[in-house]
Amino acid sequence: MLGQGFVSAAAIAASVLFILSLGGLSNQEKAKRAVWYGIVGMAVAVFFTAFGPGIGGYWWMIPMMLIGAGVGVYVAGKVDMTEMPQLVAALHSFVGLAAVFVAWSADLERRRVMAARAIDASMEEFSAFAALVATKAPDELMFLQVEVVLGIFIGAVTFTGSVIAFGKLAGKVDGKPRQLPGGHMLNAGAAALSLLMAILYLNGAGFWTLLVLAALAFFIGYHLIMGIGGADMPVVVSMLNSYSGWAAAAIGFTLSNDLLIVTGALVGSSGAILSYIMCKAMNRNFINVILGGFGGATAGEAAEMEGEQISIDAGGVASALNDADSVIIVPGYGMAVAQAQNAVSELTRKLRAAGKNVRFGIHPVAGRLPGHMNVLLAEAKVPYDIVLEMDEINDDFPTTDVVIVIGSNDIVNPAAEDDPNSPIAGMPVLKVWESKQVFVCKRGQGTGYSGIENPLFFKENTRMFYGDARSSIDSLLHLID
């Protein structure tokens, strides 16, 4: 068993490593080193926490840690990079459920301590956590009760919300916004009842209030995310990331674990900032996202589509690429689903070898997770310096010969600027239609994940390159001079 001094020093070291990790992830070239900072920091945190003072039952704990690590390695090995968003959502749910269980356990131990104090019983046979609770003064136990309430509510909302987000991202749950009859009033009613349960609990009511509180919060998390459309999923994932951080911080307060408090606060605050950035990139109000979602009712009739979608074959696309001097590729979730990033990387290599200026335009909410496209392109070894953010490349489309859009819909939709009744009206988009030619690589004529029509597909300078993204890009490779 390690002394408290070692544990405190480890907590500081791990906190610094986590901060360095977050800071490094803001830069593609430093991201790999930043991930290692996080890995080392977590290893230090787990080791010094597990073997710190007051911890026992190693013959139970060590096997569970090994089993958990084994499951983590197995799942990480099985999950493709294209499935990373749903994995992140699933992992958020574990944090939320852990917060609920810890809060329940904390209250049961608090009740045992209170009962022991009432009869002046010995605490020797109690658990290490009960002994920790026993050191608290009566007013400190009141704070513990507040921590329990917050841990249960935030954790339960995070758990069911993350499960539904996982289902929507994985295609197991319909991506369209759906709510039970009563809509937002059900959420408001459940929140009011949750507050009532918290008040009753803080005024001495039984453990049943925490069970009811958890059930209500489970419902809120489920119904809240079910009512959010698929196009808002990037914001939802970052929002749930924030929730999981605050849930972890609540656990830290309950367990008097400073490192868990710091780590939870880092995750919670960074997730909240990321959610704000995502909302700004979509010209969306955060509250509007949570209570609404794309695909819902609009202020009026959406504009009618004029023209027709004209298809083109691989030979036509290749001919335009061979004649072009400048090319911009705009990837989206369709590239991820088709696992076409390596084919796209090879096409990029061939075009650059032919002396063409090839770059990538990345919208902040492309894919199903912030940075999703950047990760896929980095995996396929696309050079970092030609992968540009929307603000860096949007002014270059008018002077670009060819734009290839791979599986994107909303982020290249001109209705965001032209149609005030569109669900995405006002959202900043990549203005690909301003280029000389646009080729849209798409499976079919459907509206895509969010269910919103895209006038880009009907424009005179746009041609639809139908088919699976990987097969379509592969068909171009042997046609490029």
Q: Which amino acid is at 157?
A: V
Which residues neighbour 208 within 8 Å (Cβ) at sequence distance 6 or greater? none
> Is 410 noted as a catalytic residue in this protein?
yes
Classify the phi-psi angles of 255: left when phi > 0, otherwise alpha if psi is within -120 to 50, otherwise beta: alpha
Other beta carbons less than 10 A from residue 471's beta carbon: 13
469/238 Cα distance (integer angstroms): 27
Q: Which residues sit opposite 466 in a β-bridge? A: 442
Q: Which of 401, 410, 474, 481 is catalytic?
A: 410
Lookup: tokens for 180: 């039970």
Three-state SS for the chain is CCCHHHHHHHHHHHHHHHHHHHHHCCCHHHHHHHHHHHHHHHHHHHHHHHCCCCCCCHHHHHHHHHHHHHHHHHHHHHCCHHHHHHHHHHHHHHHHHHHHHHHHHHHHHHHHHHHHHHCCCCCCCCCHHHHHHHCCCHHHHHHHHHHHHHHHHHHHHHHHHHHHHHHHHHCCCCCCCCCCCCCHHHHHHHHHHHHHHHHHHHCCCCCHHHHHHHHHHHHHHHHHHHCCCHHHHHHHHHHHHHHHHHHHHHHHHHHCCHHHHHHHHHHHHHHHHHHHHHHHHCCCCHHHHHHCCCCCCCCCCCCCCCCCCCECCHHHHHHHHHHCCEEEEEECHHHHHHCCHHHHHHHHHHHHHCCCEEEEEECCCCCCCCCHHHHHHHHCCCCHHHEEEHHHHHHHHHHCCEEEEECCCHHHCCHHHHCCCCCCCCCCCCCHHHCCEEEEEECCCCCCCCCCCCHHHHCCCEEEEECCHHHHHHHHHCCCC
Written as six digits, the tokens of 95 are 């944090």
Report the alpha-carbon distance of residue 417 to residue 124 in Å, rounded.
69
Tell me the C-alpha distance between 194 and 110, whole Å: 21
Q: Is 128 left (phi over 0), alpha (psi -120 to 50) or beta?
A: alpha
Residues designated catalytic: 410
